[in-house]
Amino acid sequence: MLGPMSTTPPSDFARLRRKHQRGAYDRETIHAILDAAPFCHIGHIVEGRPVVLPTFHWRYGDEVLWHGSAKSRMLLTPGEVCLEASVLDAWVLARTSFNHSANYRSVVAFGVPRLVEDPAEKLAAMKGFLDRLFPGRWETLRPPTEQEIKATAIVSLRLDEASAKMRAGPSGDNPEDVSWPTWAGVLPVHTVAGAPEPDPHVTAGLVPPPAPLASPLARPAPSPRVA
Ligand SMILES: Cc1cc2nc3c(=O)[nH]c(=O)nc-3n(C[C@H](O)[C@H](O)[C@H](O)COP(=O)(O)OP(=O)(O)OC[C@H]3O[C@@H](n4cnc5c(N)ncnc54)[C@H](O)[C@@H]3O)c2cc1C
């Protein structure tokens, strides 16, 4: 289980080796990175082979959820998964190729996900997914049908074995290289939302919600797991 402000890895498997000083294992750090990352990757073993797929995720407390088709291998293959989510904050240019780097925040978590089967929990989780991206939008929509709920599978992974890694700051050139005459420094990276493009059926006067990537996704899913 993640401890508050824990600096101890939850397992030897999840212990950072290289650049371990960039690591963290506390709940607050791991939660914040998961909330800031727009999507994650799920790695799992299918028919003995590794498969890694991108998918959107959301979080309640110490659980991270993802969803998809009720026929999806990603959701229904039993067994352990590895979840990864990261945010690229900047390119870091140095005076040697060796010292080039990036500023980032990332999370890796291991565990066996649980299929969310309770109908009330499932509906609340579907709402939570949308609430994270577009707060208040669920209430404006046609309610989901039973068939739509049935066609959706949701799984939940407890963050019991997770690690975070972060890099921030300038490039790390060796002192003897800093006078080398090439530009070095940090190129910040931001994801910017474009202008909305309404579909032809939008009723006049309706306005689009703000795009989630226009403001940082730094929030957990606001609704409770079970309505
Ligand atoms: C956007 C991005 C780009 C990167 N580019 C490179 C690159 O080009 N080259 C490179 O060598 N590394 C890169 N990294 C770092 C990379 O993810 C690994 O941390 C690094 O390669 C160390 O690997 P290792 O063999 O020590 O990991 P391992 O010894 O296999 O890791 C041990 C454990 O540490 C934890 N861990 C390792 N890495 C991370 C991580 N990033 N976030 C959270 N937990 C982690 C996991 O729990 C893992 O099981 C990048 C990271 C990010 C986020």
Closest CA to 62 of 106, 139, 114: 114
Does 164 sit in the ligand 1 pocket, CB within 6 Å? yes
Asked if the model's pLDDT at residue 144 lies above 50, the reply is: yes
Higher pLDDT, 18 or 213: 18
CATH number at residue 90: 2.30.110.10
142 domain-assigned = yes
- Measured in whole angstroms, the distance separating CA 60 from the mean position of its chain's CA atoms is 13
102 in contact with ligand 1, CB cutoff 6 A: yes
Q: Which of 12, 13, 17, 161 to mutate to test the pocket of ligand 1 (most atoms within 8 A of CB)?
A: 17
**Is residue 78 situated within a structural domain?**
yes
Task: Determine the pLDDT at residue 210.
Answer: 86
Distance 137 CA to ligand 1 centre (A): 36
The closest residue, in CA terms, to atom 36 on ligand 1 is 16
Write down the pLDDT at residue 227.
35
Q: How many CA atoms lie within 13 A of 73 on its CB side?
A: 11
Rounded-to-integer distance, Cα 84 and Cα 111, Å? 12
Please check whether residue 176 lies inside any domain of the structure. no
Instruction: Note whether residue 226 is domain-resident.
Output: no
Q: Confidence band (pLDDT; 50, 70, 90) for 154?
A: very high
**pLDDT confidence of residue 169:** 93
pLDDT tens by residue, 73-116: 888 888 999 999 999 999 999 999 999 999 999 999 999 999 99
Please report whether residue 223 resides in a domain: no
Amino acid (1-letter code) at residue 153 = A
Structure confidence at residue 165 (pLDDT): 97
From the CB of 109, is ligand 1 less than 6 Å away? no
Q: Is the dihedral of CA 67, 129, 53, 45 positive or negative?
A: negative
- Report the distance separating Cα 181 and Cα 188, nearest Å: 22
pLDDT grade for 66, boundaries at 50, 70 and 90:
very high
At residue 166, does pLDDT exceed 90?
yes
Which tens digit of pLDDT belongs to each residue from 5-64? Answer: 457 999 999 999 988 999 999 999 999 999 999 999 999 999 999 999 999 999 999 999
Number of domains forming the structure of the chain: 1
Residue 214 has pLDDT above 60, yes or no: no
Task: Count other Cβ atoms within 10 Å, centred on residue 210.
Answer: 12
Range of the domain at 118: 20-169
- When computed from its CA atoms, the radius of gyration of the chain, rounded to whole angstroms, is 20
Tokens found for residue 43: 């790695």
Residue to probe by mutation, ligand 1, list 8, 13, 18, most atoms within 8 Å of CB: 18
pLDDT of residue 193: 84
Q: Residue 216 pLDDT > 80, yes or no?
A: no
Q: Which atom of ligand 1 is nearest to the CA of 9?
A: 47
State how far the Cα of 157 lies from the Cα of 30, in Å rounded to an integer: 14
Q: Measured from the CA of 17, which atom of ligand 1 is nearest?
A: 26
| pLDDT surpassing 60 at residue 4 | no
Q: What is the pLDDT of residue 219?
A: 52
Q: What digits encode the pLDDT tens for the residues 114-141?
A: 999 999 999 999 999 999 999 999 999 9
